[in-house]
């Protein structure tokens, strides 16, 4: 007897299904369930509909872990800023009558400058570690000399120990900056990558503000103990942060890379990140194409050579604008002004202005763009330096009465530091993580930090000597001229990278046709 006769409520389509032979895997029990309105096909259809909806509706994630990882890593950068700012309150004490051991002005210039010299060693070490230990554990490894530096400073009873301490801590500085630039660029979504790049400068300023504020209110020995907190916070928090997915792809561990990217974006489905993982893998493969000859690729390839030229121009402009000398000798510079505001408190005001400008830069860099910020910040910074030079020229060369404008050097240097934080001091760190392919990124960043460290060492060591030979006004006019010329040059040669993925930026520097031609040459 036909099923339709037994169950007249079934539709025609159901009757067609009922008419299928048994070998179609439709058991009699399921026919009865269909008749009772409990079809077994409905859950399957529902599951298919859910899968289709998942494919058409993008999964919503979150960015909070990216921010958490960046903030945690930033404590290492803050500690670097603390080291840079430490000389401002420490050198006046060490050169004063209350110091436990005597330090001359010449020895003080070496204490300030050896830190940047150690940065060169750290920059050379970082490319050897970053693709072996990974971004995360390389940062943690460089925290060791950072902690050792503060331990030596706390125990120091001679200027020689301070030399060693500053040099050892400088090794950490070079390595941390190298790795942090890459880590920030690789964990961040493209819409916030520029803001993450500004964290380097902003957190450097924050670390310097922390130490100089402590130096204004605490004795020398307590200052050193409090400064040790920054690297300790970094180590205790960053150990729990995720690794960059790019590192896992370099290690041919795509499953770990997928989990890492899902974790960073707070997603649950691998298909939600498949497109991005594919793009990352292509970028890594393209980068590894000549990975064994990274240095040669960095110099010989037109695209990477252009990026290197931009990077070095940015770093030279940044340092020849006098930033290292101004940070290291802030209290001494302010003491020349004759202002009623005590130098140690003027430094705090300067640090607060730097921090506010860094926060503004974090939002502006992905809105306004890199090039326009470079041009505006460099121009205003050059004018500010020129005004400081004019004040000291009037005071020491013309011996004019400047009692009515003693506020000018402090105000001009505050404007200078704000402008540096908005552009020429921040953009180099953003550019560092963007313009190089994976295989040369480590050597390129190391080259930038090395060049920056060399010029910072020269500026820090030569500041006092140039003041004696030509006068402090000539020193600031030299800084102003270098800042203006370097800013114009960098603006001309730098393309805009705002709102572009790392892969799109690589297409600007290495067009597909050129990459294809190089691949064919390699095969040949």
Instruction: Give residue-wise pLDDT tens across range 83-98.
Output: 999 999 999 999 988 8
Supply the pTM of this predicted model.
Answer: 0.72
Neighbours of 409 (CB within 10 A): 27
More confident residue, 229 or 59: 229
pLDDT at 226: 96
Residues 377 and 233 in one domain: no
Q: Band the pLDDT of 51: cuts 50, 70, 90.
A: low
Q: Give domain status of residue 288, yes or no.
A: no
pLDDT at 498: 79
Please report, in angstroms and rounded to a whole number, the separation of the first and last CA atoms in the chain.
76
pLDDT at 176: 94
Q: Give domain status of residue 405, yes or no.
A: yes
Q: What is the DSSP string of 392-414?
A: HIIIIIS----GGGTTHHHHHHH
Rounded CA gap, 51 and 523, in Å? 43
Encode pLDDT of 314-331 as tens digits.
Answer: 989 989 999 888 888 888
Rounded CA gap, 140 and 69, in Å? 13
- Report percent pLDDT > 70 for the chain: 84
Residues 428 and 351 in one domain: yes
Q: Give domain status of residue 521, yes or no.
A: no
Rounded CA gap, 295 and 316, in Å? 21
Could you give the dihedral angle defined by the CA atoms of residues 339, 345, 347 and 348, in that order, rounded to the nearest 10 degrees?
Answer: -140
276 phi, psi to nearest 5 deg = -70, -40
Residues 183 and 330 in one domain: no
The answer to whether residue 23 scores a pLDDT higher than 50 is no
Residues 182 and 308 in one domain: no
Q: Which of 219, 241, 263 is the last residue of a domain?
A: 241
Residues 214 and 332 in one domain: no
456 touches 116 (CB < 8 A)? yes
Q: What is the mean pLDDT of the chain?
A: 82
**Closest listed residue to residue 498, CA positions, set 314, 375, 372:** 372
Residues 307 and 235 in one domain: no
The two three-digit tokens of residue 251, written as one number: 């290690």
Residues 344 and 442 in one domain: yes
Long-range Cβ contact pairs of 125-131 (< 8 A, separation 24 or more): 125/171, 125/174, 125/175, 126/174, 126/175, 126/178, 126/179, 126/442, 126/445, 126/446, 127/178, 127/442, 127/443, 127/446, 129/175, 129/179, 130/178, 130/179, 130/182, 130/442, 131/247, 131/250, 131/442
**Closest listed residue to residue 32, CA positions, set 56, 7, 2:** 7
Residues 235 and 343 in one domain: no
Encode pLDDT of 448-468 as tens digits.
Answer: 878 888 998 999 888 988 998
Q: Which of 241, 260, 290 is the last residue of a domain?
A: 241
Residues 230 and 100 in one domain: yes
Residue carrying structure tokens 């058991």: 27
Residues 129 and 223 in one domain: yes
Q: Give domain status of residue 159, yes or no.
A: yes
Residues 365 and 440 in one domain: yes
- Report percent pLDDT > 90 for the chain: 36
Total domain count for the chain?
Answer: 2
pLDDT at 287: 67
- Overall average pLDDT of the 489-512 stretch: 82
Encode pLDDT of 352-368 as tens digits.
Answer: 887 887 777 767 776 78
Q: Give domain status of residue 43, yes or no.
A: no
Q: Give domain status of residue 269, yes or no.
A: no
The two three-digit tokens of residue 69, written as one number: 């990882």
Which stretch of 7-16, 38-47, 214-223 has the lowest confidence by average pLDDT?
Answer: 7-16
251 touches 130 (CB < 8 A)? no
More confident residue, 519 or 356: 356
The answer to whether residue 205 scores a pLDDT higher than 90 is no
pLDDT at 154: 96
Q: Quote the strand ranges of 73-157, DSSP E.
A: none
Range of the domain at 347: 301-511
Write b or e for each residue in 227-258: b if 16 or more Cβ atoms lie within 10 A of its Cβ, otherwise e.
Answer: bbbbbeebbeebeebbbbbbbbbbeeeeeebb
Between the ranges 132-146, 350-364, 421-435, 489-503, where is the mean pLDDT highest?
Answer: 132-146
Encode pLDDT of 262-307 as tens digits.
Answer: 888 878 888 878 888 888 888 787 766 655 567 777 888 888 888 8
The answer to whether residue 14 scores a pLDDT higher than 50 is no
Q: Give domain status of residue 54, yes or no.
A: no
Q: Give domain status of residue 171, yes or no.
A: yes
Q: Which of 201, 224, 241 is the last residue of a domain?
A: 241
CATH number of the structural domain spanning residue 486: 1.20.1250.20
Q: What is the DSSP string of 351-379?
A: HHHHHHHHHHHHHHTTTT-HHHHHHHHHH
Residues 315 and 197 in one domain: no
């Amino acid at each position: 007897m036909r099923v339709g006769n037994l169950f007249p409520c079934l539709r025609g389509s159901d009757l067609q299904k009922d008419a299928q032979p048994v070998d179609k895997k439709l058991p009699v029990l399921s026919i009865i369930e269909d008749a009772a309105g409990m079809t077994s096909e409905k859950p399957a259809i529902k599951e298919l509909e859910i899968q289709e909806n998942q494919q058409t509706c993008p999964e919503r994630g979150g960015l909070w872990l990216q921010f958490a990882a960046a903030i945690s890593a930033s404590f290492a950068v803050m500690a670097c800023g603390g080291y840079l700012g430490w000389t401002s309150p420490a050198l006046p004490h060490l050169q004063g009558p209350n110091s436990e051991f005597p330090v001359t002005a010449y020895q003080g210039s070496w204490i300030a400058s050896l830190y940047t010299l150690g940065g060169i060693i750290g920059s050379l070490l970082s490319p050897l570690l970053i693709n072996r230990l990974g971004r995360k554990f390389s940062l943690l490894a460089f925290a060791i000399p950072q902690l050792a530096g503060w331990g030596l400073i706390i125990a120091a009873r001679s200027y020689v120990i301070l030399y060693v301490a500053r040099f050892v801590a400088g090794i950490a500085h070079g390595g941390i900056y190298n790795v942090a630039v890459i880590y920030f660029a690789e964990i961040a979504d493209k819409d916030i990558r520029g803001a993450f790049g500004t964290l380097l400068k902003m957190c450097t300023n924050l670390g310097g503000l922390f130490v100089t504020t402590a130096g204004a209110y605490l004795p020398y020995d307590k200052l050193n103990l409090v400064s040790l907190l920054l690297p300790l916070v970094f180590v205790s928090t960053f150990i729990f942060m995720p690794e960059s997915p790019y590192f896992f792809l370099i290690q041919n561990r795509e499953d770990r890379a997928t989990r890492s990217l899902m974790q960073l974006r707070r997603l649950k489905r691998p298909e939600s990140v498949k497109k991005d993982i594919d793009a990352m893998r292509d970028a890594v493969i393209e980068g590894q194409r000549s990975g064994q000859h990274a240095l040669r690729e960095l110099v010989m390839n037109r695209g990477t050579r252009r990026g290197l030229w931009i990077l070095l121009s940015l770093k030279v402009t940044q340092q020849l604008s006098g930033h290292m000398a101004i940070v290291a000798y802030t209290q001494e510079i302010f003491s020349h002004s004759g202002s009623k505001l005590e130098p140690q408190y003027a430094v705090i005001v300067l640090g607060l202005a730097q921090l506010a400008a860094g926060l503004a830069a974090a939002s502006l860099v992905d809105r306004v763009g890199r090039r326009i910020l470079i041009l505006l910040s460099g121009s205003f910074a050059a004018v500010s330096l020129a005004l400081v030079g004019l004040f000291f020229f009037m005071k020491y060369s013309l011996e004019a009465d400047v009692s009515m404008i003693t506020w000018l050097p402090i105000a001009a240097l505050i404007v200078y530091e704000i402008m540096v934080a908005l552009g020429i001091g921040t953009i180099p760190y953003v550019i560092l993580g963007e313009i190089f392919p994976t295989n040369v990124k480590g050597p390129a960043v190391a080259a930038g930090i090395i060049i920056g460290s060399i010029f910072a060492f020269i500026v820090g060591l030569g500041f006092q000597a140039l003041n004696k030979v030509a006068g402090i006004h000539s020193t600031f006019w030299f800084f102003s001229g270098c800042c203006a010329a370097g800013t114009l040059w960098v603006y001309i040669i730098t393309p805009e990278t705002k709102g572009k993925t790392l892969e799109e930026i690589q297409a600007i520097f290495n067009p597909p046709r050129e990459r294809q031609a190089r691949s064919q040459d390699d095969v040949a």
